[in-house]
Structure 1
Amino acid sequence: MPERRSAFILAGTGSGCGKTTVTLGLLAAFKHRGLRVQPCKVGPDYIDTAWHRAVSGVASRNLDSFMLPESTLNALFCHHLAACDVAVIEGVMGLYDGYGTNPDYCSSAALAKQLGVPVILLVDGKGVSTSIAATVLGFQHFDPHLNIAGVIINRVSRDSHFQLLKQAIERYCAIPVLGYVPLSADITLPERHLGLLTAQESDTDPRPWQAFAERLAQTVDIDQLLAISRISHLPPGHMPTMPQSEEGAGLTLALAYDEAFNFYYPDNLDLLERAGVRIVRFSPLRDAALPACQMLWLGGGYPELHARALSENSSMRQAIRAAHQRGVAIYAECGGLMYLGDTLRDAQDEVWPMVGVIPGDSRMGNKLTRFGYCEARARQPTLLAATGETLRGHEFHYSDFSPRTAALFDCHKTRDGEVLKRWQGGWQVGNTFASYLHLHFAQRPLMLTRWFAAARSTQ
């Protein structure tokens, strides 16, 4: 491994502390230095990773400890680390926030220990002085085995204030303060009630981020950050059994990709291509025809915000219905499920005809219908799972789907060993399967073998 290779998790004291903005600024600063960057995100989030890619030009990778076995996650991390000079891993929520109350399960802290990378702790400097040291000290003492290697202070308006904060932290916590992030009115990530706007929906002008990176280079010691995050050992790991290359050879996958559908894990697309599948992107919003294909993937996104355009593109809806009728193996996640239903009722209470492959209707609500990790066990054979197989995934949706066909998965959510909820989901009609579950295929790559077989069954 090259001596200069670095990796760290940028973790925060909680959600909303500025992790994404600072991650983007650091990616831009490293890139400005000519370093090869690899952005990553702890957990299943699609939106932060899209912003990572928009600013860095490099596909960001999700490191998800719930969906991926430890050995698989480590192997993927090592694979992506090999092609970069510095890996910047944005944490999730607060440093010790994971799945339930166990800080060693699905948290940024747990992943840092698993991968053997240091943590850079981002703390808020607004409206505080010496008390900031108590915050840092608490995070240090909560898990003495965790390597919190440095601190960056966010929202600092002037250097004199920073010097006071720096002296307090270094005096009482014996940890280096690498610098501060100045208040920047020109750097904001657009939001809505569903969370951040996706990078695909926004005009990502690189100039403000370049200017922000230049300011960060003046207020954060980039050399020290790279030095304290150098990696000397790789975590042990190996990939599970993969589909044989001939299983996907000759198959074409049509991938829905536009403002309405853009939630895909890059590792999933890599696995498909490594299996020999050819991927062709198309837009359900604007294209009139579907690419010639044997497989079709309608990913997550925000179809409810584009319901009129999706509905009025009747030629595309008809093309997808025709593909379903001739046996194209269709897989849909969350937003894709909503699109494949009969109708979609949006937040303005307008009802729009959709594709009409999965019998049922979607309706938008004003609060989360379901959120978080869950497990889904197949009660009969489906496109991705055999009877009795369990898939691990993530749900996040404000809509609800009212089906007129039987669900095929028994789903449940647990926390700290207790089952919190049980429900049914996942619907299949012919060669078409749709559910609200977002999946990382690397948890069991051989699930793709079933998809390939379905795609070939009607050739």
Structure 2
Amino acid sequence: MSIRKVTIAGTNSGCGKTTVTMGILATLYVMGLDVQPFKVGPDYVDPMIHTFITGNDSRNLDSWMLDIDTVVHLFEKNAINADISIVEGTNGLYDGYDGNTIVGSTAHVAKIIKSPVILVVNAEGVSLSIVPMVRGFIDYDRNLEIIGVILNKVSSEEHYEALKTAIETGTGVKVFGYLPKMDEDELPCKHVGLVPEEDMNDLKKKIRVLVEQVIKTIDVDLIIKMSNRPRVSYLNATKFSFEQIKPPQKIKIAVAKDKAFSFYYKDNLELLKMMGAEIQYFSPLKDITLPEDIDGIYLGGGYPDFYAKELQGNKSFIQSIKKGIMAGIPTYAEFGGLMYLSQYVEKQNNEKANMAGILPGYCRTTQELSKSGYVDIEVTKNNVLSKKGYRIRGYEFCHSEINMLSDDVSRCFNVVKRRPDMEPIIWKCGYSIYNLIAVYPHLHLWGNTDFAKKFIESCNKYRMANSLAI
């Protein structure tokens, strides 16, 4: 069986691959196709855009946090029933997790899932020099199938025709079309999670304008025609069966989901479902209390600092979640969730916003990103999410740090950020109190499914204890 799939890659960050991807996704959707989007790497924002445009949940494919079989599995199981799958790359085509390897790069993922690649090239101020640039990307790895180019920021139709002729003659690959230089105000906002409800119509209008441009200047029909490729064979498909670890009865996990908490890998939530959980969403911004009869809480990342006033104003919900966590409901909080559970958040202008006050410490926003990037994690103490000795990889991108004000909080994670030609940075994280663990790194639970299994077991243990108490 074959799958229609294309990876949209870039020569570098900022070349326009996200704009091109948005335009192609929206055009395919307008054509009536069932489009399955994907994003290479750990990013949350681009997948939110993909989902907004297509109506289908975008999935992350990360070949550093996940092994090869898992990348294949997550791609194939989500792509198999779609009319076409579009994978948006990250950074430059060959840029891997540490700058010295292609592991984690767009090229690496495209090779794993055997996807043809279209290279987005910024054509601003370039003429014949574009040929050796494109040729270099093709020649660097002949095992990668680059089928063509889309040009961005083209100055005129004449400019495009000259570049098209030069590239196709000089490299042998197809030029699928171009986008002209467009003002930033004309382009859809990348931060969908921060777009107020009243601005959604403007966002939709900008996407329609982008579609009109794509229809005029990019041959989407040819992209569809050239996208058909065979499925990929697993090295070991048996590891993706989780029937044996489902709890005896379905447990209910409450997941925070609103504009303040929107960063989740969809496959994380589906893995918990596969292991027997029922997911019930709630909003710390709008709800008065936690959902009833829950066995676990999952607080993801997002924009709690942007919505700090609204969050601190919802005192009824803060009391509800504080009561629930202190009563022992198993809770997993990532990044934004950690910030929300702290005493307060202090911004760089010294403005403070009170939070839920469950973790005995406060978060302070910073400009530094010294700890940001991919990290290796070793569990040093048992907790509701993992056991001592477990290992997983994660990604940390935060402009804040937590300052603990009590020694009652255990630190369960040893986190290592490796740096080329430099000593690694090592720190403690995984703050545990009550039946809660709060972490800064975002974890893709498919990187080690034992983490999801342990959380399910913790939730099931809580349910059983409550049943006996009744």
- Structure 2-normalised TM-score? 0.92
Whether the aligned pair in 2 keeps the contact of 1:250 and 1:277 (CA below 8 Å) is: yes
Residue 268 of structure 1 corresponds to 268
Q: Deviations over 1:5-31 (max 9, x none)?
A: 421110001111111111111011111
Give, in whole Å, the separation in 2 of the partners of 1:452 and 1:419. Answer: 37
What's the offset of the Cα at 1:208?
2.6
Q: Deviations over 1:366-403 (max 9, x none)?
A: 23252111011111101221111112110000001112
Over 3 Å counting, the alpha-carbon distance change for 1:200 and 1:245 in structure 2 is farther
Give, in whole Å, the separation in 2 of the partners of 1:106 and 1:296. Answer: 30
- Structure 1-normalised TM-score? 0.94
Residue 442 of structure 1 corresponds to 446
Residue 149 of structure 1 corresponds to 147
Q: Secondary structure at the match of 1:169?
A: helix
* From 201, 220, 223, the counterpart of 1:222: 220
* From 430, 435, 438, the counterpart of 1:431: 435
Matches of residues 132-281 of structure 1 in structure 2 within 5 Å?
132-185=130-183, 187-190=186-189, 196-199=190-193, 201-202=195-196, 203-205=199-201, 206-236=204-234, 238=237, 239-242=239-242, 244=244, 246-247=246-247, 249-281=249-281
Q: Does 1:74 align with 2:75?
A: no
Q: Secondary structure at the match of 1:163?
A: helix
Give, in whole Å, the separation in 1 of the partners of 2:434 and 2:124. Answer: 57
Give, in whole Å, the separation in 1 of the partners of 2:333 and 2:121. Answer: 39
The size of the alignment, in residue pairs, is 452
Q: Secondary structure at the match of 1:93?
A: coil
Give, in whole Å, the separation in 1 of the partners of 2:121 and 2:259. Answer: 34
Residue 411 of structure 2 corresponds to 407
Residue 340 of structure 1 corresponds to 341
Give, in whole Å, the separation in 1 of the partners of 2:162 and 2:116. Answer: 25
What's the offset of the Cα at 1:94?
0.4
* From 103, 106, 127, the counterpart of 1:105: 103
Specify the code of the residue in structure 2 equivalent to 1:452: I
Over 3 Å counting, the alpha-carbon distance change for 1:372 and 1:362 in structure 2 is same
Q: Secondary structure at the match of 1:269?
A: helix
Residue 297 of structure 2 corresponds to 296
Give, in whole Å, the separation in 2 of the partners of 1:210 and 1:330. Answer: 41
Q: Secondary structure at the match of 2:231?
A: coil
Whether the aligned pair in 2 keeps the contact of 1:412 and 1:419 (CA below 8 Å) is: no
Residue 6 of structure 2 corresponds to 8
What's the offset of the Cα at 1:353?
2.0
Specify the code of the residue in structure 1 equivalent to 2:319: Q
Give, in whole Å, the separation in 2 of the partners of 1:378 and 1:276. Answer: 24
What's the offset of the Cα at 1:273?
1.8
What's the offset of the Cα at 1:299?
0.4
Whether the aligned pair in 1 keeps the contact of 2:277 and 2:456 (CA below 8 Å) is: no
What's the offset of the Cα at 1:298?
0.8
Over 3 Å counting, the alpha-carbon distance change for 1:243 and 1:316 in structure 2 is farther
Which runs of 5 or more structure 2 residues have no equivalent in the other structure?
Answer: none
What's the offset of the Cα at 1:235?
4.1
Give, in whole Å, the separation in 1 of the partners of 2:252 and 2:423. Answer: 40
What's the offset of the Cα at 1:200?
5.3
What's the offset of the Cα at 1:127?
1.2
Over 3 Å counting, the alpha-carbon distance change for 1:246 and 1:173 in structure 2 is closer
Whether the aligned pair in 2 keeps the contact of 1:345 and 1:352 (CA below 8 Å) is: yes
Q: Does 1:331 align with 2:335?
A: no
Whether the aligned pair in 2 keeps the contact of 1:9 and 1:117 (CA below 8 Å) is: yes
Residue 19 of structure 2 corresponds to 21
Q: Deviations over 1:55-109 (max 9, x none)?
A: 1111000001111111111011111111111111000000011112334311111
Give, in whole Å, the separation in 1 of the partners of 2:136 and 2:455. Answer: 49
Matches of residues 54-93 of structure 1 in structure 2 within 5 Å?
54-93=52-91
Q: Deviations over 1:134-155 (max 9, x none)?
A: 2111211222222111000011
Matches of residues 108-123 of structure 1 in structure 2 within 5 Å?
108-123=106-121
Q: Secondary structure at the match of 2:378?
A: strand
Whether the aligned pair in 2 keeps the contact of 1:286 and 1:313 (CA below 8 Å) is: yes
Specify the code of the residue in structure 2 equivalent to 1:288: I
Q: Does 1:316 align with 2:317?
A: yes
Give, in whole Å, the separation in 2 of the partners of 1:33 and 1:80. Answer: 20
What's the offset of the Cα at 1:456?
2.9
Which runs of 5 or more structure 1 residues have no equivalent in the other structure?
Answer: 191-195
Whether the aligned pair in 1 keeps the contact of 2:343 and 2:360 (CA below 8 Å) is: yes
Residue 193 of structure 1 corresponds to none
Identity across matched positions, percent: 37
Q: Deviations over 1:254-309 (max 9, x none)?
A: 11111111100111111122223111111111211111111111100111111121
